[in-house]
A and B are shown apart, each in its own frame.
Chain A
């Protein structure tokens, strides 16, 4: 049956005392464990000289019944999958972690955040008894996030993508999985603010602004991957025609004319082929040229 023990107690004031009790646990849970739990000594949770370092019982509870009867589960079983015992509910697992990690700038918005309300457990992403916690490594973090975010797993393989699969951009560069004040758990307060951390050349303010650019980059771009470079939702002139039905080309229907002469047209138009609108209106993110009101220069 599922382990539904009461929330665990906070670490004792002097962890060094409680750490001494760990030997009671490691008598059985030793180097021969199928899961090498002793590797926790290589992590921040195993640095004995840090007064905050938790003992086994700080996280797993006093587990008095388990200590006397190995067939009874410890107070708190972490993880997602059923092993020898069923794991505790996410909220009980998280209570153990948040005992130390709740009052933290990066976790301020955990309570009520998308992951908390979806009952995501800390151990859904983090593995504590290992020297290499995949989710804290830029190279391996995406594969952890993709276990749930499967659409994004496919999107990063599209023709145009951020170097996420290549390990040069991590999910946490843009998102705070512990909750944030921004949309989509973004690390900054708005979409544009988040994008400007790497693309500050778009920030301006510019003399001639393009209104949707100042409001939300995702009006035109899709950040995880696209079939159309560069990370565009659609391609000019069709993309531009979603918002413009005015002067010259933006009012004209386009079909195979976008393919130029090879598409069967008798001539190619700079309005519809290649960069189309952006052959001339190339300053789509805004222009800082006094003669650039139409985003030409």
Chain B
């Protein structure tokens, strides 16, 4: 009877429901970033997993169903349900919620709530005029009183419905629908686009920065439909993928807290109004085809093709901006501008791969891939003004400060070829040699004036790779690999780009700027010639049936051929792992990972004119070095107290640092407090200590009590927050008083789970 019970327990699902409570000792947006435990206090715990159906017992019915839920007491909850007649049809439902807590220390004088898009200052904030703002940004008591704390977070609610149906042994269909609802906001900077006067000054400044809540009032509907056929020698799948993104807003409006109002405006609550765009609604419709054909058991061909049609025609943000003076600022000058982009991007993908294993121990493969992004959006001239231009009120008037921009719809095409041969040298040794070729072409369709909009119109990269695997003994596996890649990028220093108030209307035109306004000789690293060397090796050893040990490492070095720009960089990593499974339900495992990366940059300063070259500029250099150490220890001790108690311990320690260093040899006073343009920046350091201890005690055959303790501590040292503090912000920026996100949180959780 006992044997029957044991066999039944193994062959039938165990349903489970658990509930309990949790206490978190500290409010911290960072600790609760993704787990929903961002507030100090008690949380309910709840979860369930219930399964059933005749499909577990009967040879005549394949019906099985499942209901499950996790983290029901937090904003990270998840619910799921599915039912299927296996081999015939299936329906599944899902709901997943995630509140991304970003910060709870943001302070702002603006009155709009999180999620809104019109940010106004209280009337008593006072017209910021009359006195020059000092570099300590002394806003004064009346303005400081208007600051209040707002929590920055976004919430994702993901609902899904999936169905599949099998028509027979060869034909099946499936449809998956997913609706993602997003709310909340993320902080964003808001520059004034030049020419704006700071309070008390007459100097036009590009920066008059208010950090605002950019609403994420989004919804995205994704649908995937596919019809799949498989035969004796071939299979084919045809499908549709649609993604419809909707933003409830098309713009963000705000009153500027550091800019002087229009001269015609008097009285309190008289501010310069401004706007910016938000993410535009857009859609993608994509047709997909993929499949394969077996010429023989040794020779197989697989491939796929996709065509996507991506459009965006959301209304532009308002360009006529009402001012408190009653006179609206017109951002545009001239007329005939469209009200929306009518943007169209077509994406095309194709791939083929042939594999052959006709020759004993030899596997050959040849592949081809093609990806194109063809942006056929119209290119037009957009002339616009500074927000408080003297002629801002008159759209037809030529502004004092004017900007002429021409949009350059970027297109690119990537073609890749690969041939590889894998040979089994012996039962214990494998060798693989591969060659890859990648060609990239970039262009812009129909740019007004016909100027070159791309710095690197074409590039080719050749890559060879060799990997070797050796089974030293049955219990020791060694692997090593090396690859070398050479990218040859054709760089066009005559490319022109929107730069300040210059135009790319015509090559050599009065406002044209060579090399995209960068110094001649500067090359952005994604578009520079590059040699890349990559090596990796690892050994994994099963000492006994209970003990495993492994060491793995990798190193990559990139060398760029650029007079100015990123010169070179490397990344390296080493991991050591050990595990000891000393009993059936008891084990201890530990690991250590070290990672290091470095990037060397060489840039120039000096004359900002179109004929600048590296011979008459000062050279400065900058290095970024990243270091990371991570340690983990996991223990599981089961079978305690006569098999009633299981204790699990999970400890991890992570220390990451990112350090910048700058050298400016041409400046003898670069370290003067007025500039501080050379020297070392305080490293950005984050140290995370995490410990979780869990005890599971079986109170009776089907009942278990779990007691868990979590300790997590974050030590963060980051200069990012310096310029946000009252009294320390730039004179052109409204403070947010954002604080570093250090925390020390203790969590105790008690739950009971019932199996039935």
Residues of A that sit less than 8 Å from B by CB: 2, 4, 16, 19, 30-32, 34, 36, 38-39, 41-42, 44, 46-52, 81-83, 86, 103-105, 108-109, 111-112, 117-119, 131, 139, 150-151, 153-155, 157-159, 163, 166, 168, 181, 189-190, 193, 196-198, 200-209, 211-212, 214-216, 219, 227-228, 234-235, 238, 241-248, 251-271, 273-275, 278-283, 287-294, 296-297
Contact = CB atoms under 8 A, between A and B. Distances in A.
Nearest to B721: A274
B374 to A, nearest CB: 11
B525 A242 contact: yes
B601 A83 contact: no
Contact of A289 (B7, B276, B632, B670): B276
B591 A263 contact: no
A245 B603 contact: yes
B119 to A, nearest CB: 14
B660 to A, nearest CB: 6
Contacts of A163: 33-34, 98, 100
B657 interface: yes
Contact of A109 (B188, B317, B353): B353
Nearest to B53: A47
Contacts of A278: 189
Contacts of A246: 499, 513, 515-519, 522, 608
Given A150-B552, A158-B686, A196-B243, A282 B317 contact: no
Contacts of A2: 427, 474
A257 B667 CA distance: 15
A97 to B, nearest CB: 16
A247 B671 CA distance: 23
Interface in B256-313: 274-277, 279-280, 282, 284, 290-292, 300, 302, 304, 306, 308, 310, 312
A168 B34 CA distance: 8
A117 B728 contact: no
A270 B207 contact: yes
A245 B76 contact: no
Contact of A82 (B59, B64, B475, B719): B475
Contacts of B384: 290-291, 293
Chief secondary structure at chain B's binding surface? strand
A242 B243 contact: no
A258 B681 contact: yes
A112 B367 contact: yes
Given A103-B292, A206-B312, A151 B593 contact: yes
Contact of A105 (B228, B337, B725): B228
Contacts, number: 489
Of A139, A158, A189, A275, the most chain B CB neighbours within 10 A belong to A189
User: Which of A36, A268, A287 has the most chain B CB atoms closer than 10 A to its own CB?
Assistant: A268
13 contacts: A41-B11, A47-B86, A47-B87, A50-B55, A108-B302, A117-B420, A200-B220, A201-B247, A261-B728, A270-B207, A282-B190, A289-B276, A290-B332
B96 to A, nearest CB: 7
Interface in B355-389: 355, 363, 365, 367, 369, 371, 373, 375, 377, 382, 384-385
A248 B34 CA distance: 39
Nearest to A106: B237
B677 interface: yes
Contacts of B222: 197
Contact of A259 (B70, B577, B682, B714): B682
Contacts of A227: 626, 628, 656-658, 684, 686
A280 B207 CA distance: 6
Given A150-B577, A201-B245, A206-B343, A158 B591 contact: no
A-B CB proximity, top 9 nearest: A280-B191, A293-B405, A273-B723, A297-B276, A201-B279, A246-B517, A41-B11, A200-B245, A243-B524
Given A49-B55, A205-B377, A273-B730, A258 B660 contact: yes
Contact of A211 (B86, B275, B454, B606): B454
Contact of B722 (A267, A268, A279): A268
A163 B101 CA distance: 12
B500 A247 contact: yes
B605 A251 contact: yes
Given A168-B98, A219-B526, A227-B684, A49 B409 contact: no
Nearest to B220: A200
A117 B351 contact: no
B568 to A, nearest CB: 12
A294 B191 CA distance: 10
Contact of B86 (A49, A117, A201): A49
B432 interface: yes
Nearest to A166: B34
Contacts of A50: 55, 62, 86-87
A293 B405 CA distance: 6
A39 B10 contact: yes
A273 B735 CA distance: 12
Contacts of A157: 630, 652, 654, 688
A249 B64 CA distance: 63
B662 A253 contact: yes
A268 B733 CA distance: 10
Contacts of A205: 282, 310, 312, 341, 343-345, 375, 377, 409
Contacts of B312: 203-206, 288
A44 B475 CA distance: 32
A242 B599 CA distance: 10
A196 B284 contact: yes
Given A157-B654, A288-B341, A290-B316, A241 B724 contact: no
B526 A215 contact: yes
Nearest to B369: A181
Contacts of A204: 280, 282, 310, 312, 343, 345
Interface in B508-541: 513, 515-519, 522, 524-526
B284 A268 contact: no
A112 B245 contact: no
B382 A291 contact: yes
B335 interface: no
B674 interface: yes
Interface string B1-45: 001001100111110000000000000000001110000000000
B729 interface: yes
A26 to B, nearest CB: 9
A151 B87 CA distance: 39
Contact of A235 (B10, B316, B658, B714): B658
Contacts of A48: 58-59, 62
Contacts of B189: 275, 278-280, 282
B13 A131 contact: yes
A207 B680 contact: no
Given A42-B56, A163-B98, A273-B722, A253 B34 contact: no
Contacts of A269: 730
B604 A245 contact: yes
A288 B634 CA distance: 49
B408 interface: yes
Contact of A209 (B234, B331, B408): B408
A119 B423 CA distance: 12
